[in-house]
Amino acid sequence: MAPMPLPLSSLLKYTECLQRARGVCNVFRDLPHGSFRLRPWRRNFSRAISRGVGQPWSQHQPRAPNCAASVCSSSSSGEGVTERLWSVYNETKRQTQGISTHEVDPDTIFANNEMSLQDIEIYGFDYDYTLAFYSSHLHTLIFNIARDLLISNHRYPEGLRKYEYIPDFAVRGLHYDVQKALLMKIDAFHYIQLGTVYRGLHPVPDEEVIAMYEGCHVPLEIMSDFYGKSSHGHTMKQFMDIFSLPEMTLLLCVNDYFMKHNIDYEPVHLYKDVKETIRDVHVKGIMYRAVEADIDKYICYGEQSHAVLKKLSAHGKKMFLITNSPFDFVDRGMSYIVGKDWRDLFDVVIVQADKPGFFNDRRKPFRRVTDKGALLWDRIHRLEKGQIYKQGNLYEFLRLTGWRGSKVLYFGDHIYSDLADLTLKHGWRTGAIIPELRKEIKIMNTPEFVHMMSWLQALTGLIEQMQVHWDPASQAVVEEWIKERDAMRSQTKDIFNAQFGSLFRAYHNPTYFSRRLSRFADIYMASISCLLNYDLRHIFFPRRTPLQHESPYWLEYNPSGCSASSPAPKDQSRV
């Protein structure tokens, strides 16, 4: 089994320990111990560092002093206090520069919930961005078609044709305030991340955002509904689909044009018009026909989906496909990825399923589709291998197949439409496909990012300890540290995406996207091909990270030094 990739959370907690127990206290070991009183958790920190990692608690060493309490008590001179604070700062920064960590493997499968592949008998898949991955040309195609439809069908200004799709401007998981025409990132606690609010193609000043929302918190009643939609009084729309990136960019571009030309417009109408044109690109088959006509340009073949399906089939696993895409489009893509006999790998194939309605609406029956796309009228008494079915609903699917509960694992890229109902209502195991993981992990593996995050966490620890001193000299130093921390937080955002930062973090908090991902996905990965690295008896264990009231120095290692979620050696994973 491969060595454990040290997670960022471990690095940060280690840095915090280093800062609090070594970086601070070692500088002041000569100070009298009687001038302070250790809090219990700090006492444990000091013991942990004094005895060395991995040694038993019984091997007690002399306690390190509480340096925050001693900095000011040891000197009444403001100049002396300042010198000592900066001495602590410099020593802590020096020690964090030596921190290194193992790289995280982008092909790792990450676990939110413990799950054994040995228990999985049936594997289900979405199609788009699960089995089929698309090139960046597809987003440009969707943007251009929708932009032109706005002009031709909704009489929007011709000047909009000058706008082109901007790759990597937006990220998935953002919220759009329909009434205010603002695109923003919101964290797991419903707080807006300042600096990530955009009207058009330009950021909105923090002061204006705070004035509009009377702070940074977004009340529950105006947040998006369960499926991320703006409906029933909810004014926020959350964009969770990878296909939504062109939609977000088009909204920003049209807003930008109207503002530049001082055109008075109703934001609600704009949102609905853009939403309708994006829907037409899909529903009217415009995108499907374009992709089928130039499949080499739009579909990426290198995700090894065929190898995954063959591996599962060789181990006797049942497989099914449930997608919202039409049969002709799926057949063309799967024939390109797998071959003309792709249907032989699946026990059930369902197209135009209309998820998430498929998981909730009991009224829609299945309808058989011929190879040429003709709809048949016969009643469906069983779902047969080799046949194609349209629409239907999950309740009928469960009745006809008997595939219930935790023996089923379903993969999809849309956390709401693909996964939420399955895990909440039906007890299926779920796997989220998050292609953005590859890019973010590569950034996290760079020495620059590791050093930046190490120092940011260490600096935060310094501020936390030294803020208790209210003398002017101490406060002046702490204020400088706070300014440096704020600047570094912005840098850690920009390194992922200059406008909106990481898909998973809003500074130190998880994003709203991360919160939903952790709730609705048992496991998540960058690509379905990650399954090739694991034996089908593998057990995925989520790392036990400490809660806020638990000891911050929680070892996330098993005795062998390996991670339970690390890929198996390549030569064993395909057995």
Question: Annotated catalytic sites, by residue?
Answer: 126, 128
DSSP state of 504: S
Q: Is 354 helix (H, G, I), strand (E, B) or coil?
A: coil
Burial of 547 (0-12, 13-18, 19+ CB in 10 A): exposed
What is the rounded CA–CA span in Å between residue 462 and residue 466?
6
Q: State residue 194 phi and psi, 5-degree precision.
A: -60, 145
Helices (H) and strands (E) in the chain, counts: 19, 20
Q: Nearest-CA neighbor of 453 among 9, 5, 6, 12?
A: 12
d(CA 81, CA 249): 52
Cβ–Cβ < 8 Å for 30, 70: no
Task: Give the span between the Cα atoms of 39 and 371, in whole angstroms.
Answer: 72
Distance of CA 281 to the CA centre of its chain: 26
Asked whether the beta carbons of 558 and 137 are under 8 A apart, the reply is no
Please give the span between the terminal C-alpha atoms of the chain, in angstroms, as a whole number.
14
Residues 6+ apart with CB under 8 A from 259: 199, 200
Q: Is 280 annotated as a binding residue?
A: no
CA 370-371-372 angle, to 5 degrees, is 90
Q: Which residues contact 465 (CB under 8 A, 6 or more apart)?
A: 20, 24, 67, 68
Question: Nearest Cα to 538, choosing from 107, 121, 115, 124?
Answer: 115
Residues comprising the chain, all counted: 575
Tell me if 413 is assigned to a ligand binding site.
Answer: yes
Residues in CB range of 443: below 8 A, 6 or more apart? 449, 495, 496
The amino acid at residue 377 is W
Query: What are the tokens at 508?
Result: 């130190």
Say if CB 112 and CB 524 are below 8 A apart.
yes
Per the annotation, where are the binding residues? 126, 128, 413
Residue positions in the annotated binding site for Mg(2+)?
Answer: 126, 413
